[in-house]
Chain A
Amino acid sequence: MAKNSLPARNRQIEQLTNLFGEKHHHTVESLYIYGHTGSGKSCVLNHVLVGNDLFHVVVNCIECYTTNLLFSTILEALSFEEGRIRCDNMNDFVRCLRKIVEEKEVEETLYIVFENCERLRDKDPILLPALLNLKELTGLNLCAILVSELPWEKFYNGTAVRDPFVMFFPDYSKDELVEVLCHLRPQATDLEFYKQYVGLVLSMFFFAFRDLRELRHLVEINFSFYEQPIVDGKLTKDDKLKLWKNIEPHLTSSLQKLLMREACDGRQSNEPELTESVKAYDLSKGSNAKSQNLVELPFYSKFLLISSYIASYNPSSTDRRFFLKHAGRMRKTARSMKKDDHKNCHLRGPHSFPLDRMMAIFYSIVDEVVPPSAGLFSQISSLVSLHLLAQLGQDQLDMPKYKCTVSLDFITAISKTVNFDVIRYLYDFV
């Protein structure tokens, strides 16, 4: 088994191989591996188990969301016969497992790997302790390996369990990341050149995030832009400064839409039409425009939404000031001075309001006279079903209560379309 096939993980590979020992050796009853996402846990485990040709089964606890599925997957992977094996409970599982392994007559240790095992906590509380004790229950030479992101202390649930042997996969350092990314480069590229490029990208992105998957995605996307001048013949590999200047705006825009994966797919193909549309897509306003375009509301619904937003985020005592004509100035009492310092309704979140208040605000902000009709009120129901408003409370007939669930950006965009300045009516911005 080549050790250098997985860069920067030699120590973990060595530890695992030592732990497993020879094929027939007994090993720990249960092993718990944890580490950040993208730190190579599954990859290394796979490498060790497959590379050493060890008898093993891998199960993903997110896929096997019931215990039936979990047991069936393991048994089907191990047995000779085709077809589904039904297994409802732990007792049958243990018996079937024993039967299958004895039929196969293997002397080797059986490794059962449970990935994303934090999902097992939510199921039957006896399941996890039973799986940790599987070696003793079956009497076979087996090892249960649990893989997760969370530390083992999150799995305690009240009754004592036999603690597994815990192994931590540390995150990659900056140099190790460079090594790994260079290892995953596309086939025909030069190592040194790619290393420089990766170093540049990392220097920009390393502050924000360290997830290997995200970094790999970004590196792969932007590499074609980096290579572009060299392929075109305008620059050579040594013009590092010019290459950097060329790639910098692309990297900055990637930084802006970090992790969002919007409009990335357009870049992967080289067709000129698609790249035109990508350029036309203004990335700084992208997300808002996109989400707004999805919802086109009728005229009154927009005003209903705006009035619900105002009702949610303004304290009811300020309604008088905003919506009554000739309300006069608010007297500056000591109490109101104190209140002014903490204008943080937007931080606390929307509060609920009764329907009457919203309708009062609605009638005052709409210029024309609107007769109350069933159509108007049915628009409120459609806003609720679009999840722009949330209905609260039990009392639906007498005084229904609502809460507005849209963000400030959304409501400013909507109010712009109806030429209404909502900021002027919000208490936090006065």
Chain B
Amino acid sequence: MNQVLLDVQSVLRNRLFGNETKCRPDIEKFQQDLKDLITRSVEYGESNSLLVIGSKGSGKTTLLRTTVDLLQKKLSKTLIIVRLNGYMQTDDRIALAEITRQLHLENTLGDKVFGSFSETLQFLLEALRGGSSHSSQPILFILEEFDLFTQHKNQTLLYNLFDLAMAGLTPLVVVGLTCRLDVIELMEKRVKSRFSHRQLYICNQWTAENYLQAFSDMLLLDAGFCKTTKHKSFLERWNSNVVELSNNASVQDILKRQFSISKEMPSLQCLLVQPICKLNVNHQFITAADIADSARNVFSDPKANILHGVSVLELCLIIAMNHLTNIYAGESFNFHMVYNEFLKFTQKKLHILQKHNKPVVLKAFEHLMELELIKPKETTLSLASKLLKEYQPTILLLEEQQLKEAVYRYPGCPTELQQWLESSTV
């Protein structure tokens, strides 16, 4: 039984976290465009450039990967692929070194690339210009996080790549993937004019029903899972459980709520992480309670969580700051003003709060600053303001509503504090 569950976990984990995700059905139509482009380059020696634009998690990388995999099998000539990523190649120099490395050109030995930036660039350009559209091998450049390449100095790499693509010598396809919709604006004029302005927009046009369908598709196990009879019987029970779960009203509510925040796949996946990881011999099927638990985790307000753990002294200070912000209509306050308010309050209610001297209250204030619940108004500090940190203007980063809920939920909160918060005058 344990083995069955381990296999279930493996399959589901691969779906969620692994690399074998399949392309979403509604973006398969873009595959045809991509295939045409690359095939034309390989067969007829055309050069092209293309941008794939879509928000994070919409499936651009998967699309490209599946298309390339499909084509590798069918093409007559081998396609050389150079993969670049904006996160890794933060500079044109590094990018150039990486290109020469991936192309296994003559100035690389194993892993090292020799020569300076200008030498390497010259060498690469000569190598690529030296080819002709019929005899040389086609090269596919994949640039992920394309918008980061536009931040490089002078956009040298992009300029050269697009220039080569327009020159029509070695067959070249440059495909850029990015999540910024305004990426065209980021390109310089000379780079933009060399770009072919071919763009693929991957937008997600799902409705709530599609989203619910994706939820059950993610969880249903298919026939490939049946290795033994135990697996087979478990498979039937599992699938019927998934169907039941999809029809459960509370689960549908949670999914609709998540859908209204974000339509993409990652939002669905983060709901499913906890229930899937919880599966073991004692807990063999996902229940609605699991999904509710996971949803509670995902939808929880992090500031409220932090406020739950501050000490009573710090909570008093926050309430004092809230009053000051209300009285002075959003102007900043400083530590002495807060301390003054705090003293006014404790003088009235001496019996519940012990007397705290100033250094202790200052330390509580600084702890709140570390937690970033308050922050100094000016970010650049002159020497004078550093010496006078007690007089530095600060602002409170909490809304009154958040504070009220936090005080309400605070364990063992003295009622005087709650009354103080509610009252409009001190």
Interface residues on B, range: 35 or more
A26 touches which one: B14, B179, B312 (CB < 8 A)?
A: B14
A153: which B residues are within 8 A, CB to CB?
302-303
**Which residues does chain A contribute within 8 Å of B354, judged by CB atoms?**
207-208, 255
Contact with A along B279-311 (1 / 0, CB 8 A): 010000000000000000110101101101111
Given contacts A126-B87, A149-B371, contact A207 B312 (CB under 8 A): yes
A91 CB contacts on chain B under 8 angstroms: 88-90, 94, 97-98
B274 contact set on A, CB distance < 8 A: 15, 18-19
Report yes or no: A405 in contact with B313, Cβ–Cβ below 8 A: no
Contacts of A124 in B (CB 8 A): 90
| With A160-B56, A349-B334: A168-B305 Cβ-Cβ less than 8 Å | yes
Contact A89 B388, CB 8 Å, known A25-B13, A170-B308: no
Cβ distance B262 to chain A, nearest Cβ, rounded Å:
10
B199 at the interface (CB under 8 A from A): no
B277 on interface, CB distance cutoff 8 Å:
yes
**Nearest CB on B from A208, distance (A):** 5
Q: Are A95 and B111 in contact (CB under 8 A)?
A: yes
Q: Are the C-beta atoms of B270 and A349 separated by less than 8 Å?
A: no
Q: How far is the CA of A395 from the CA of B152 in the complex (A)?
A: 42
A149 pairs with B18, CB closer than 8 A: no
Contact between A171 and B309, CB atoms less than 8 A apart: yes
> Could you tell me the distance between the alpha carbons of A239 and B179 in the complex, rounded to whole angstroms?
71
**Complex: A154 Cα to B303 Cα, angstroms:** 10
Partner of B17, one of A26, A126, A170: A26
Chain A 159-179, CB within 8 Å of chain B: the 1/0 string?
111110111101101100000
The answer to whether B384 and A405 have CB atoms under 8 Å apart is yes
Give chain B nearest CB distance to A247 CB in angstroms: 16
Q: Which of A21, A94, A258, A348 contacts B277 (CB 8 A)?
A: A21
Q: Does A12 contact B (CB under 8 A)?
A: no
Q: Is the CB of A392 within 8 A of B308?
A: no
A36–chain B nearest beta-carbon distance, Å: 4
**A27 to B340 alpha-carbon distance, docked (Å):** 51
What sequence of 0s and 1s flags, for each residue 79-94 of chain B, a beta carbon within 8 Å of any chain A beta carbon?
0000001111111001
> Which residues of the other chain, B, contact A149 by a CB distance below 8 angstroms?
370-371
Cβ-based interface call for B115 (8 A): no
Is B223 interfacial (CB-CB < 8 Å)?
Answer: no
List residues 54-90 of chain B with CB under 8 A from any CB of chain A: 55-57, 61, 85-90
Contact A28 to B273, CB < 8 A, known contacts A36-B309, A347-B340: yes
The answer, yes or no, to whether B356 is at the interface (CB within 8 Å) is yes
Per-residue B-contact encoding for A215-259, CB less than 8 Å = 1, 0 else: 000000000000000000000000000000000000000011011
- Residue in A34, A173, A208, A350 whose beta carbon sits within 8 Å of that of B313 in the complex: A208
> Could you tell me the distance in whole angstroms from the C-beta of A54 to the nearest C-beta in chain B?
15
* In the complex with contacts A173-B411, A208-B313, A390-B384, A133-B356 CB distance below 8 A: no
Residues of A within 8 A of B179 (CB): 159-160
Residues of B close to A160: CB separation below 8 A: 55-56, 179
Q: Contact between A405 and B387 (Cβ–Cβ < 8 Å)?
A: yes
**Whole-angstrom CA separation of A21 from B313 in the bound complex:** 41
The answer to the question of A277 belonging to the interface, with a C-beta cut-off of 8 Å to chain B, is no
Number of interface residues of A (CB under 8 A): 69
Measured between C-beta atoms, what is the minimum distance from B328 to chain A in Å? 11
A236→B226 CA distance, assembly (Å): 70
B18 to A151, Cβ gap below 8 A? no
Return the chain B residue nearest A152 by Cβ. B302
Q: Indicate which residue in A19, A29, A89 contacts B91 across the interface (CB closer than 8 Å).
A: A89
- Beta-carbon contact of A154 and B305 below 8 Å: no
**Residue B6 is within 8 A (CB to CB) of chain A in the complex:** yes
Tell me the B residues contacting A by CB distance below 8 Å. Answer: 6, 9-10, 13-14, 16-19, 55-57, 61, 85-91, 94, 97-98, 111, 147-148, 179-180, 266, 270, 273-274, 277-278, 280, 297-298, 300, 302-303, 305-306, 308-314, 334, 336-337, 340, 353-354, 356-357, 359-360, 363-364, 370-372, 383-384, 387-388, 390-391, 411-412
Binding site for B on A (CB under 8 A): 15, 18-19, 21-22, 25-29, 34-36, 39, 89-91, 94-95, 124, 126, 129-130, 133, 136-137, 139, 149-154, 159-163, 165-168, 170-171, 173-174, 206-211, 255-256, 258-260, 287, 346-350, 387, 390, 392, 403, 405, 407
Closest 6 CB pairs of A and B: A171-B309, A151-B302, A349-B391, A130-B87, A26-B17, A390-B384
- A/B interface sample: 22 pairs, CB < 8 A: A18-B278, A21-B9, A89-B90, A89-B91, A90-B87, A90-B88, A90-B90, A91-B94, A126-B87, A133-B87, A137-B85, A151-B305, A152-B302, A154-B372, A160-B55, A166-B298, A207-B313, A208-B360, A259-B360, A387-B387, A390-B384, A405-B387
